[in-house]
Amino acid sequence: MTVAGPASLYADLDVVAELDRPLGPLTWYGVGGPADVLIHPRSVEALSTLVERCRRDAIPLRVLGSGANLLVDDEGVDGVVVLLDDPAFKAVEFNADGLVERMRVHGGASMERLVTECARRGLRGVEQMSGIPASLGGAIRMNAGGKFGAIGDAVEAVAVVGTDGELRVYGRSELHFGYRETNLPAGVVAWAVLRVEPDDPVACRKRVLDIFSYKKSTQPMGAASAGCMFRNPTMPDGSRESAGKLIDLAGLKGTRVGDAVVSMEHGNFLAFDRVKGAGHASAADMRRLVERVQAEVLQQFGVELVTEVVFWRRGEATG
């Protein structure tokens, strides 16, 4: 896209636009090239119009959440990248509709901060998200979670700006939350209503700390990674096996491609060796390491590992 091209999409909208904005610093991996244009909408109305115009002009549109589950290609990405970091998209409205058991959380809100605030207020229902870095929209889109549950457990309704720019609300009866998936249509999650229950604040804080402590003891929380790289695969008998266990059994811990390495602590964490890399890590290294792990696990166990981390690359469909 030329500078003149994308400008016609947003010049009259209530947004902040950054051309050729490097995306690496906005992700947990810390690598990756620029977006042609990074747009920060200031209202749902501006977001809706932008989304509709991108579809009209066949311009790729991607949504950047917390950057914790994303690998951006070294050459960056084409089209428009949207970041919902304006206060209008980070708000949390407790007592939604006057009910203490409901809260409205906007798409750019931090799940980490939400978990902490709910515990402080004595609200139980989202503590299963302890230690999972995500924005609300990103968490819902992939039904983020772990051993203790997923965000879908608490969702009552979701508002999505569809690719046609229309805001539609989907109630619980219309929603399906599976393992790292939902049936939400394509678009941008604007907000969601979550169900919580009043509880003792001390007990709430203890549950959050217990879950976080468990994660800290079993995962390399400080590694330069994006969390679990692969989804836990379904085996022939219908059971779900740990991807980390298969990677461990395949003898792949410590496997390295350039500055990308399989964690010695948890096989499903593929991280960058910051000390060794001295700032020269690349997305290409990580992609090659992912492919090597996938090929080895397939050869040894006949199991195809599917990435949980999202890869962005120029010219690829955005979904």
Distances (CA, A) of 151 to 108, 191, 275: 15, 13, 35
**CA distances for 204 relative to 124, 195, 239, angstroms:** 6, 15, 32
Distance CA 87, CA 176 (A): 29
Give φ, ψ of 292 to 5 degrees: -65, -45
> Following DSSP, what letter does each residue of 221-247 receive, concatenated?
TTSBS-SB-BPPPBPTTS-B--HHHHH
- For residues 286 and 255, what is the distance between their CA atoms, to the nearest angstrom? 11
Q: What's the token pair of residue 137?
A: 């929209």
Q: What is the dihedral of CA 95, 97, 99, 102, to 10 degrees?
A: -70
Of these residues, 53, 141, 228, 231, which one is catalytic?
228
Residue 118 annotated among the catalytic residues of the structure: no
* Distance from C-alpha of 133 to C-alpha of 14, rounded to nearest angstrom: 28
Residue 228 among the catalytic residues? yes
What is the Cα–Cα distance from 196 to 204, expressed in whole angstroms?
Answer: 12
- Fill in the amino acid letter for 248: D
293, 248 in Cβ contact below 8 A? no
Among the options 53, 141, 204, 308, which is catalytic? Answer: 308
| Distance in angstroms (rounded) separating the CA atoms of residues 185 and 198 | 32
Could you tell me which of 224, 162, 164, 160 has the C-alpha nearest to residue 191? Answer: 160
Amino acid at the residue 205: R
**What is the separation, in whole angstroms, between the first and last Cα of the chain?**
19
Strands 197-198 and 123-124: antiparallel
Q: What are the tokens at 104?
A: 């409205």
Check 21, 55, 102, 180 and give the catalytic one: 180
Catalytic residues: 180, 228, 308
